[in-house]
Structure formats: C-alpha cells, structure tokens
Amino acid sequence: MKALIIGPSWVGDMMMSQTLYRTLKTKHPEMIIDVMAPAWCRPLLSRMPEVNQPIAMPLGHGALALGERRRLGKALRASGYQRAFVLPNSFKSALIPFFAGIPQRTGWRGEMRYGLLNDLRLLDKTAFPLMVQRYASLAWPAGSISHASELPPLLWPALTVASDEKIATAAQFGIRGERPVIGFCPGAEFGPAKRWPHYHYATLAATLIQRGWQVILFGSLKDRPAGEQIRSALSEQASSWCHNLAGQTQLEQAVILLAYCDAVVSNDSGLMHIAAALNKPLVALYGPSSPDFTPPLSDNARVIRLITGYHKVRKGDAGEGYHQSLIDIQPEQVLAELDTLLAPMAEHE
C-alpha cells in the first residue's frame, strides 16, 4: 500500500504528525509513506524512518492556486497512491489528493471539504483534546475510535541523528567537547509574550556555566538580538562558554546540534518539539499558550506554567512585551527541574 500525506506547515505540527506515520507503519508495515510539505520540512522528514520520501510543496502557505494544484495532482496520478491523509484543515490542502484521483482520502472535515475527502471525519474537540491524538486517530477506520481514551499508547515523535553528525557539526560551530552542553531556545514565533525573559535565561546560564556547563543559544535570525542580550548579561569569562547560534544555523544543523546537547530549556516553540523528539532532558516554559493542546511529547520533558487556560496574547503587558506569567517563573525553579531530570544521568556517570 502506498500513501500520500499532506503535511502541516509549522515545525511543531510537523513533529507531532510523526505519531501518525509511526502508527500507520505499525498497523501496516508494508505501507510506503510519502509526505508532501514545504521544502523546509525536508531536514525533519528525512530523519523520520517511517517516511519514504518528502515531496516539496511548491505553493505558499496562503495560496489557493487552483490551476497549479490541479497540475500537481494530475502529475501524481501515476505514483500509485491508494490512500491520502490530509492533516491541515484548509479547503485548499485537500485539492491535490482529489486531483490525483487517490481512491481513499482521509481527513477532518475542516473547511467544509465534502467531496474532496471521501473518508471525512467529524471532530469532537473535547474527545480529542491533543493535536497529536487527532493526528493518530486518522490511522484507524472511521467510527472505530470515538475518544482519545480508546487509542493505544501513542508512538511519540522520534528523530534519528548519527553520532558522527553530532561531533562534526559541533566542531564546525566551534563547540568544544570538554564541557557538557545545554541548549537554550529563547525565541518564539509570535513574539515576546511567549518568551521567558532574556534576563532569566542569563541568570540560569551564569549558574550553569559556573557549574561547568556550556550553553548554545538556538533560534532564527530574529532571535539573535535576544541571544545577544543573554550573552551581554554574562561576565566576559562566562560569555566565552555561551554560543549564540541564533540565525547562524540551517534547520538541519539546529536539529543535529540539539541532538548534541545534554539538556534543553525552551519556550513553547517548534524547537521545543524537536528537542522532545530527540528525547533530550527538556524543561518547557509556557505562558499564555497552553500545553493542554500541544505539549512536548516526551517522558524526559517537564512543563512549567503558572497559569491555566489559553490566552490569545501576542504582546504581554509587562516590560519589553513579556507576559507576567513567564516573568514569574524564576531561574531557581527551572534549575530545580533540570537537576531532577539530570539526576539519573549523574548516577550513571
């Protein structure tokens, strides 16, 4: 059996979708799974053993481009797909499998996709509170799973990175091997309201460096100033052990370097989900966004959050746009969670 999956367009969602791929391969070991997603997803998909090949989606996130989707669909007709799974809820995301003539096309109803999807599922959000549960349930026949409690234990995302890749990439960026490494992910896609303040990261970094660690700061180019704020708050000696790689790495390199880390502290972000999929000891810091829908999927992760519910906040009311609930998370609390996570490692040394 050959299946085409129309994948998500966000890092965190893409990571969570691996649970569906793993579930399908467990249920149907012979299934060949191809995933159509934006080209930037290739570094993630290529590290998912369940995926046969990534297929680049050439159209932008918001483009309908009906004619181009028809052309892409018709080009796939000779590929022999028997099944399609459409993970985004948009109308346009269901067009390519329809034009490809794939016999069974599965997905949630979303934007009224009657006809485009012929295995249409009606979502009860209270029955499947987690996004990963919604993805995983699509692997089962319609009507057979009506509640998340009926799902077998979820197969959480798991990326593979070879040891030699980690060593070579760390050397490429001047990461010395004489100290253990902790990764900080101080950025967040939607601005400062989802970020733990840079001054808290700096306090934590200073303590860890004093203990004999070194720190790697991850993120995109727009996160680089936050990284520099963290470094500038450190002493000259300490800052030599704090490497600001925000904006300096491609996604592929960031994945490898996160795998190189011994532990990670992260805001709610796509990099947080990657760290969880690499099974890193992880402290995830949440403010207005909620772990009730998209938590880090790992037994090695701890979530710190001081408020409840979901708050649609793009800019906090506190200084520099931070959210007070994240300001209130103290570095000592994060350090205590890290110590708990790292204790089993210390016992085996």
CA-to-CA distance for 324 and 305, rounded, in angstroms?
11
CA-to-CA distance for 105 and 115, rounded, in angstroms?
10
Where is the domain boundary, 99, 114, 144?
144
Mean residue pLDDT of the chain comes to: 94
| SS3 labels along 188-249 | CCCCHHHCCCHHHHHHHHHHHHHCCCEEEECCCHHHHHHHHHHHHCCCHHHHCCEEECCCCC
pLDDT tier, 127 (very low <50, low <70, confident <90, very high otherwise): very high
pLDDT tier, 306 (very low <50, low <70, confident <90, very high otherwise): very high
* pLDDT for residue 315 is more than 90: no
Coil, strand, or helix at residue 14?
Answer: helix
> CB–CB of 72/95 below 8 Å?
no
* pLDDT for residue 236 is more than 80: yes
CATH number of the domain at 169, please. Answer: 3.40.50.2000
Whole-angstrom CA distances from 316 to 54, 114, 140, 329, 330 are: 38, 40, 41, 15, 17
Do 115 and 172 belong together in one domain? no
CA-to-CA distance for 336 and 213, rounded, in angstroms?
16
Coil, strand, or helix at residue 34?
Answer: strand
Where is the domain boundary, 112, 144, 176?
144
Where is the domain boundary, 144, 174, 192?
144
Residue 326 lies in a domain: yes
Pick from 60-64, 81-85, 185-189, 345-349: least confident? 345-349
Q: Phi and psi at residue 227, in whole multiples of 5°?
A: -65, -40
Do 270 and 325 belong together in one domain? yes
Do 171 and 257 belong together in one domain? yes
- Across residues 47-57, what is the average pLDDT? 97
pLDDT in tens, 201-220: 999 999 999 999 999 999 99
Which residues are 216's β-sheet partners? 183, 243
Give residue 90's domain range: 2-144
> CB–CB of 52/34 below 8 Å?
yes
- Across residues 57-67, what is the average pLDDT? 83
Whole-angstrom CA distances from 18 to 25, 85, 229, 333 are: 11, 13, 35, 31
pLDDT in tens, 137-183: 999 999 999 999 999 999 999 999 999 999 999 999 999 899 999 99
What pLDDT is recorded for position 188?
84
* pLDDT for residue 347 is more than 60: no
Q: Nearest-CA neighbor of 128 among 139, 117, 116, 119?
A: 139
What pLDDT is recorded for position 153?
96
pLDDT tier, 60 (very low <50, low <70, confident <90, very high otherwise): confident
